[in-house]
């Protein structure tokens, strides 16, 4: 019977051992990467949540088990933190060590946190979009800045009406706490703006119904005091039809007003929008 040389046996053994060790290291590295990804996902969700972002919560994950620590002021927030962690793919268990202290007051930071910055950016984008889609404000030279929900509008407007419309659109945007309307009325630009609006009116005749429907839906969803997700929108020949259910007449009137001011809208039919 053939017997392999002693050195060959030794070399084969070393190679096998190294292969096993390499596999173990790779597996360990993959698991560490997974743990880090899950930790980041949980923490990011906390940072984006208005109920948890101000709390100093910490997350660690090991082999699918998340350990949560920190302090919150209400039991419901502790449960929310647990449910968020369990909702992350691959998390099979949660050790919720978060303490509940009724007198706990999160320390306000001098600068907006990650979640606040994301929310401020979203607010700014929503306002800019609403100003662009609105037939009365799309020609304005407006700068929008948001800090912790407080919006500042600066630039120029061709009339007091355009300035006031911009302020109302900003104030009615979800997440906005206050609006500082610093738009300056520059009547010298009114002729140029009127000319632009005249050209725009001609162009509006060619705006597609699908574009109008999308912008009306988005405007409603971005706006506070309107249940945008409960309102169905359809457009035919520039005529917008709103249907669904709202809470009261004021909400219905606001939905109609927002839809009417979207570029390309000829009229709004809200007979099927009930309360």
Per-residue pLDDT of 23-72, as tens digits, reads 555 556 888 899 999 999 999 999 888 888 878 899 999 999 999 999 99
Which position has the higher pLDDT, 207 or 154? 154
How many C-beta atoms surround the C-beta of residue 173 within 10 A?
Answer: 25
pLDDT at position 186, please? Answer: 83
What total number of domains does the chain contain?
3
Which residues have CB under 8 Å from 129's CB, separation 6+?
Answer: 218, 222
- What the block records as the tokens of 133 is 């889609």
Is the CA virtual torsion 169, 54, 60, 93 positive or negative?
Answer: negative
Q: In the beta sheet, which residues pair with residue 274?
A: 245
Which position has the higher pLDDT, 68 or 4? 68
Which position has the higher pLDDT, 107 or 80? 80
Residues 60 and 31 in one domain: yes
Residues 66 and 127 in one domain: no
Q: What is the CATH number of the domain that holds 252?
A: 3.30.1340
pLDDT confidence tier of residue 107, bands split at 50, 70 and 90: confident
| 1-6 average pLDDT score | 49
- What the block records as the tokens of 31 is 């698991």
Q: Rounded distance, CA 111 to CA 137, Å?
A: 31
Q: What is the CA radius of gyration of the chain?
A: 28
Q: Is the pTM of this model over 0.85?
A: no
Is 132 inside a domain boundary? yes
Range of the domain at 83: 6-100
Residue 251 near residue 275, CB atoms below 8 Å: yes
């Amino acid at each position: 019977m053939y017997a392999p040389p002693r050195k060959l046996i030794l070399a084969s053994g070393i190679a096998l051992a190294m292969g096993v060790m390499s596999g173990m290291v790779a597996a360990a590295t993959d698991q560490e990467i997974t743990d880090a990804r899950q930790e980041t996902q949980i923490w990011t969700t906390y940072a984006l949540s208005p109920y948890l972002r101000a709390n100093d919560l910490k997350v660690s994950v090991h082999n699918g088990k998340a350990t949560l620590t920190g302090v919150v002021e209400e039991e419901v927030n502790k449960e929310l933190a647990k449910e968020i962690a369990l909702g992350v793919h691959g998390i099979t268990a949660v050790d919720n060590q978060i303490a509940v202290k009724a007198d706990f007051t999160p320390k306000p930071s001098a600068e907006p946190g990650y979640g606040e910055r994301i929310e401020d950016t979203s607010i700014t984008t929503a306002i800019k979009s609403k100003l662009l889609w609105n037939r009365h404000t799309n020609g304005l030279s407006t700068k929008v800045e948001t800090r912790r929900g407080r919006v500042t509008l600066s630039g120029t407007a061709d009339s007091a009406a355009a300035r006031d419309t911009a302020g109302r659109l900003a104030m009615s945007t979800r997440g906005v706490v206050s609006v500082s309307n610093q738009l300056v009325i520059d009547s010298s630009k009114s002729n140029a703006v009127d000319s632009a609006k005249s050209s725009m009116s001609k162009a509006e005749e060619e705006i597609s119904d699908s574009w109008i429907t999308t912008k009306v839906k988005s405007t409603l969803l971005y706006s506070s005091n309107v249940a945008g997700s409960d309102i169905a929108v359809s457009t035919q020949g520039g005529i917008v039809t709103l249907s669904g259910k709202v809470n009261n007449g004021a909400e219905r009137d606001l939905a109609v007003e927002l839809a009417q001011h979207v570029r390309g809208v000829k009229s709004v039919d809200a007979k099927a929008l009930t309360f």
